[in-house]
């Protein structure tokens, strides 16, 4: 009977000749915005919130029979707008295009003496370099502070604009083909920091820190093309898709003046007046994915996916350095030095990265009460880049030629990774309403070209669940896993070698009455790294409670509280005198939310109120058995959001409303709060930081109000 119901509707609809249908849904708003502090970077970090007349959304739907046209625009007058157009004929073809924008605001007030001359060139006035270089150490702070105060302030932001389009053609009810394209541009400026140590006298002598940030330009474009075909039937089907992607960075390298040095010198004191850095390299990639599924019987289903990806990178290298004072090292061809690209062993990386992934799964309803799922996954990523070795590199702020690093020659190791995983998962429902689930997972990881070698992990997990009907349930899930010690205890976090993990999660939803529901979850996860020389523990705790109450037909109340804690502890041993430190860091976040919506006058008048708050604190405690030691102040941040609104529906076609939003963001972070363009006075002298200049990009807390009067009209 269900199948009958499924087929009756569509078939009948296809028989009908429909009248043209047009629907418009428009919201227009007059908005005022008030932000209380002068540097509200965080307020507009990811969004554009302009004042005046805005169109939060416009939707136009038109159809006739099976043909349709849809237009959606969100924030059409803003820099984070999203516009979608869809046209097509149901069951035959469909074309959709979407234009998206995302702003990312780094700062509104960057202070810099660097001027941008295009093509990644960031230069300062020679006179400035001359004054700062000539100044005795004692005078540098005064001159640098003066430079910072006189520098012009500018806005640094990156705008991401993306267009995506896709065409689907249904060749038969089961078989379709599609083609898609994406064009994405990122333009703007971002802060890039440059830092180095200058050996002041000679090897083994004191170093001076040179550091500065520059506003580097971003000119990036990505183009993707996709073609694919799909064949879907309830019992079997497949998808095949190929993708070509081209990433282009117009700025292959960034050249910047060192504001503290006018002259190059490869003898002590070492110095470099100009530094060149490589930016993200342009590349292309191709991918192909074939996936299919097949129901062997009514109770056994197989699914497989084969994926292949290749990335090719042939960006031209820049030279080792632009410091002409570095003499030609031994072994270089006559007339060539580190500043000549011709001295490089190869002009480009000729980089090739290839990945093959293979996923198989079997889902078997062994009995009406038991389901078995078996998965096998194999991911093989191989770096097929030809080997590349260099005679040396320009180090210490591009000031000296070095022929080894940590005693090793300068050679590129190709990184490879193979990850194989087998999962067996049994779901058993011995009797209603109980269900049990058990999972065993075996993972093998092999790495090449790195200190981290092969690791192997075994994990078991189990879940018990009780379903009470409707949406009510209670479950408990536990997991234990052990990863064998790896070849290097020093690289635990990404290798996860030697990790012992125990985790438990309890969750439930309960509706004692149809109109009231409550949900809760509690989770604990402990990760111990007994073999690690650094990271000792990484633990997570989480608890959440939420409720929803429909009071009659007119009021809805929701509330939620979420509390989470992340704790990790680390241990270090000093290289020189053997003192040990232990550091414990705890991140705690508490979120609360409450909302109320009430309808009056037969639903024509709506009143809504919502408050949410996030309170986050990070504590860092350190102790040592003899080393210099000091606890750090807590880092705090919080976001409170209070929104209220009232809306009156004059008819189904016209609604008028007023809404107000208040946001309060607070932040205390010692790593950023103390920074100004010239931070010497706020930094300790554990290193000589007289020659450090920042852009001053950090944001501050804010209070912001938005009030909007809107009209929403829908007509058909």
Return the residues of window 582-641 that contact other proteins according to CB under 8 A: 583, 585, 587, 589, 591, 593, 597, 603, 606, 608, 612-614, 616, 618, 620, 622, 624, 627-630, 632-633, 635, 637, 639, 641
Secondary structure tally for the chain: helices H, strands E: 5, 35
Tokens of 97: 């295009």
Choose, by CB under 8 A, the member of 270, 394, 497, 693 that binds other proteins. 394
Q: Does 693 help bind other proteins (rule: CB under 8 A)? A: no
Q: Does 470 help bind other proteins (rule: CB under 8 A)? A: yes
Residues in the chain: 716
**Which ranges constitute the DSSP H helices of 112-187?**
126-134, 140-150
Choose, by CB under 8 A, the member of 53, 493, 653, 709 that binds other proteins. 493
Q: Which of 32/134 has CB closer to other proteins?
A: 32
CA torsion 137-139-140-141 (nearest 10°) is: 120
Binding letters toward other proteins, positions 405-434, x by CB under 8 A: xx---x-x--x-x---------x-------
Q: Which of 125/573 has CB closer to other proteins?
A: 573
Strand stretches in 250-369, DSSP E: 253-257, 274-278, 283-297, 300-313, 351-367
Q: Report 105-164 residues binding other proteins (CB under 8 A).
A: none
Q: Quote the least distance from Cβ 629 to other proteins, whole Å.
A: 7
Choose, by CB under 8 A, the member of 388, 399, 497, 693 that binds other proteins. 388
Q: Quote the least distance from Cβ 127 to other proteins, whole Å.
A: 26
Q: Does 706 help bind other proteins (rule: CB under 8 A)? A: yes
Instruction: Please state, in angstroms and rounded to a whole number, the distance separating the CA atoms of residues 657 and 647.
Output: 4
Choose, by CB under 8 A, the member of 107, 129, 176, 258 that binds other proteins. 176
- N-terminal to C-terminal alpha carbon distance within the chain: 35
Q: Does 386 help bind other proteins (rule: CB under 8 A)? A: no
Binding letters toward other proteins, positions 77-116, x by CB under 8 A: -x-x--------xxxx---------x--------------
Residue pair 220/701 in contact (Cβ under 8 Å)? The answer is no
Instruction: Please state, in angstroms and rounded to a whole number, the distance separating the CA atoms of residues 106 and 466.
Output: 49
Q: Does 400 help bind other proteins (rule: CB under 8 A)? A: no
Q: Does 327 help bind other proteins (rule: CB under 8 A)? A: no
Choose, by CB under 8 A, the member of 79, 98, 450, 705 that binds other proteins. 450
Q: Does 546 help bind other proteins (rule: CB under 8 A)? A: yes
User: Is 224 strand, coil or helix?
Assistant: strand
Q: Quote the least distance from Cβ 458 to other proteins, whole Å.
A: 16
Choose, by CB under 8 A, the member of 108, 245, 403, 511 that binds other proteins. 245
Q: Quote the least distance from Cβ 270 to other proteins, whole Å.
A: 14
Tokens of 85: 């157009």
Q: Does 381 help bind other proteins (rule: CB under 8 A)? A: yes
Identify whether 433 is preceded by a cis peptide bond (ω within 30 of 0): yes
Choose, by CB under 8 A, the member of 426, 564, 594, 611 that binds other proteins. 564
Q: Quote the least distance from Cβ 103 to other proteins, whole Å.
A: 10
Q: Does 500 help bind other proteins (rule: CB under 8 A)? A: no
Strand stretches in 314-399, DSSP E: 351-367, 370-383, 388-390, 393-395
Residue pair 640/615 in contact (Cβ under 8 Å)? The answer is no
Compute the C-alpha angle 405/407/413, nearest 5°: 60
Residue with token string 């705790």: 541
Instruction: Please state, in angstroms and rounded to a whole number, the distance separating the CA atoms of residues 88 and 141.
Output: 66
Q: Which of 163/209 has CB closer to other proteins?
A: 209
Choose, by CB under 8 A, the member of 219, 542, 668, 700 that binds other proteins. 542
Choose, by CB under 8 A, the member of 562, 611, 664, 711 that binds other proteins. 562
Q: Does 351 help bind other proteins (rule: CB under 8 A)? A: yes
Choose, by CB under 8 A, the member of 35, 225, 379, 424 that binds other proteins. 379
Q: Quote the least distance from Cβ 159 to other proteins, whole Å.
A: 14
Binding letters toward other proteins, positions 642-661, x by CB under 8 A: -x-x-x-------x-x-x-x
Instruction: Please state, in angstroms and rounded to a whole number, the distance separating the CA atoms of residues 695 and 114.
Output: 10
User: Is 133 strand, coil or helix?
Assistant: helix
Stretch that binds other proteins, among 113-121, 126-134, 148-156, 683-691 (CB under 8 A): 683-691
Interstrand relation of 175-199 and 654-668 (parallel, antiparallel or unpaired)? unpaired
**If phi over 0 gives left and psi between -120 and 50 gives alpha, with beta otherwise, what is residue 145?**
alpha
Stretch that binds other proteins, among 117-125, 137-145, 256-264, 533-541 (CB under 8 A): 533-541
Q: Quote the least distance from Cβ 618 to other proteins, whole Å.
A: 6
Q: Report 29-68 residues binding other proteins (CB under 8 A).
A: 46-47, 49, 56-57, 59, 61, 63, 65-66, 68
Choose, by CB under 8 A, the member of 151, 349, 497, 693 that binds other proteins. 349
Instruction: Please state, in angstroms and rounded to a whole number, the distance separating the CA atoms of residues 549 and 47.
Output: 33
Residue 38, burial from CB neighbour count under 10 angstroms (0-12, 13-18, 19+)? exposed
- Applying CB under 8 A, the site for other proteins has a residue count of 211
Instruction: Please state, in angstroms and rounded to a whole number, the distance separating the CA atoms of residues 376 and 444.
Output: 12
Q: Report 252-311 residues binding other proteins (CB under 8 A).
A: 253, 275-281, 283, 285, 293-295, 301, 303, 305, 307, 309, 311
**Which ranges constitute the DSSP H helices of 370-458?**
none
Q: Does 195 help bind other proteins (rule: CB under 8 A)? A: yes
Instruction: Please state, in angstroms and rounded to a whole number, the distance separating the CA atoms of residues 192 and 122.
Output: 11
Stretch that binds other proteins, among 109-117, 149-157, 356-364, 479-487 (CB under 8 A): 356-364
Choose, by CB under 8 A, the member of 568, 678, 693, 702 that binds other proteins. 568
Identify whether 412 is preceded by a cis peptide bond (ω within 30 of 0): no
Q: Which of 134/597 has CB closer to other proteins?
A: 597
Strand stretches in 2-113, DSSP E: 21-35, 52-64, 67-74, 82-89, 93-111
Q: Does 183 help bind other proteins (rule: CB under 8 A)? A: no
Q: Does 373 help bind other proteins (rule: CB under 8 A)? A: yes
Stretch that binds other proteins, among 107-115, 116-124, 129-137, 567-575 (CB under 8 A): 567-575
Q: What is the CA radius of gyration of the chain?
A: 31
CA torsion 487-489-490-492 (nearest 10°) is: 90
Q: Does 710 help bind other proteins (rule: CB under 8 A)? A: yes
Q: Does 76 help bind other proteins (rule: CB under 8 A)? A: no
245-277: string of b/e by CB count within 10 Å (b at 16+)?
A: bebebebbbbbbbbbbbbebbbeeebbbbbbbe
Name the helix (H) or strand (E) containing 673: helix 670-673
């Amino acid at each position: 009977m269900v199948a009958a119901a499924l087929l009756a509707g569509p078939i009948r609809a296809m028989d009908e000749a429909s009248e043209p249908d047009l629907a418009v849904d428009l919201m227009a708003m007059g908005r005022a915005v008030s932000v209380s502090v002068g540097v509200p970077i965080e307020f507009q970090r990811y969004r554009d919130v302009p004042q005046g007349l805005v169109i939060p959304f416009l939707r136009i739907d038109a159809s006739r029979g099976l043909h349709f046209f849809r237009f959606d625009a969100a924030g059409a007058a803003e820099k984070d707008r999203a516009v979608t157009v869809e046209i097509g004929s149901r069951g035959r073809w469909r074309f959709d295009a979407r234009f998206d924008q995302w702003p990312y605001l780094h700062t509104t007030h960057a202070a810099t003496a660097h001027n941008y001359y295009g093509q990644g060139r960031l230069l300062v006035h020679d006179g400035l370099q001359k004054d700062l270089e000539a100044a005795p150490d004692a005078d540098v702070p005064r001159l640098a502070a003066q430079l910072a105060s006189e520098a012009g302030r500018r806005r640094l932001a990156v705008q991401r604009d993306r267009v995506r389009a896709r065409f689907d053609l249904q060749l038969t009810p089961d078989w379709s083909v599609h083609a898609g394209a994406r064009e994405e541009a990122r333009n703007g400026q971002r802060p890039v920091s440059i830092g180095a140590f200058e050996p002041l006298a000679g090897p083994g002598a004191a170093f001076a820190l040179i550091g500065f940030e520059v506003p580097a330009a971003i000119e990036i474009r990505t183009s993707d093309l996709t073609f694919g075909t799909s064949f879907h039937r309830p019992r079997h089907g497949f998808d095949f898709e190929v993708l070509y992607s081209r990433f282009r960075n117009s700025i292959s390298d960034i050249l910047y003046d060192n504001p503290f040095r006018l002259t190059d010198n490869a003898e002590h004191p070492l110095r470099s007046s100009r530094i060149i850095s490589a930016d993200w390299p342009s590349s292309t990639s191709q991918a192909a994915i074939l996936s299919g599924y097949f129901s062997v019987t009514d109770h056994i289903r197989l699914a497989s996916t084969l994926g292949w990806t290749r990335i090719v990178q042939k960006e031209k290298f820049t030279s080792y350095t632009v410091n002409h004072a570095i003499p030609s090292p031994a072994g270089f061809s006559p007339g060539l030095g580190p500043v000549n690209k011709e001295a490089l062993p190869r002009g480009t990386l000729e980089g090739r990265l290839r990945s093959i992934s293979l996923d198989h799964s079997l889902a078997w309803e062994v009995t009406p009460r038991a389901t078995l799922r078996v998965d096998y996954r194999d991911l093989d990523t191989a770096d097929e880049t030809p080997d590349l070795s260099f005679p040396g590199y320009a180090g210490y702020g591009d000031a000296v030629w070095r022929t080894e690093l940590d005693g090793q020659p300068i050679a590129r190791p190709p990184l490879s990774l193979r990850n194989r995983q087998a999962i067996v998962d049994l779901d058993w429902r011995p009797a209603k309403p109980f269900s049990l689930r058990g999972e065993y997972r075996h993972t093998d990881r092999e790495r090449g070209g790195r200190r981290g070698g092969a690791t192997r992990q075994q994990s078991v997990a189990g879940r018990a669940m009780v379903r009470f009907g409707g949406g009510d349930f209670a479950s408990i899930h536990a997991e234990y896993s052990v990863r064998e010690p790896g070849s290097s205890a020093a690289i635990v976090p990404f290798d996860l070698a030697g990790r012992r993990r125990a985790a438990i999660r309890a969750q439930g939803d309960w509706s004692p009455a149809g109109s009231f529901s409550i949900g809760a979850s509690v989770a604990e996860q402990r990760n111990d790294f007994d073999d690690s020389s650094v990271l000792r523990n990484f633990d997570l705790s989480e608890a959440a409670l939420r409720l929803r109450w429909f009071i009659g037909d007119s009021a809805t109340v929701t509330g939620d509280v979420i509390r989470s804690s992340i704790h990790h502890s680390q241990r270090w041993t000093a290289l020189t005198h053997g003192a040990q430190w232990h550091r414990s860091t705890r991140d705690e976040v508490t979120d609360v939310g409450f909302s109320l919506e009430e309808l009056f006058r037969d639903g024509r008048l709506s009143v809504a109120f919502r408050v949410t708050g996030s309170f986050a604190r990070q504590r860092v405690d350190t102790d040592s058995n003899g080393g210099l030691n000091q606890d750090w102040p807590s880092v705090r941040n919080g976001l409170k959001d209070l929104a209220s609104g009232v809306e009156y529906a004059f008819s189904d076609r016209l609604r008028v409303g007023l809404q107000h939003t208040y946001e309060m963001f607070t932040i205390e972070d010692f790593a950023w709060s103390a920074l100004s363009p010239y931070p010497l006075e706020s930094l300790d002298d554990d290193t000589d930081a007289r020659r450090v200049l920042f852009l001053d990009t950090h944001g501050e807390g804010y209070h912001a109000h938005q009030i909007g009067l809107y009209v929403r009209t829908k007509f058909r």
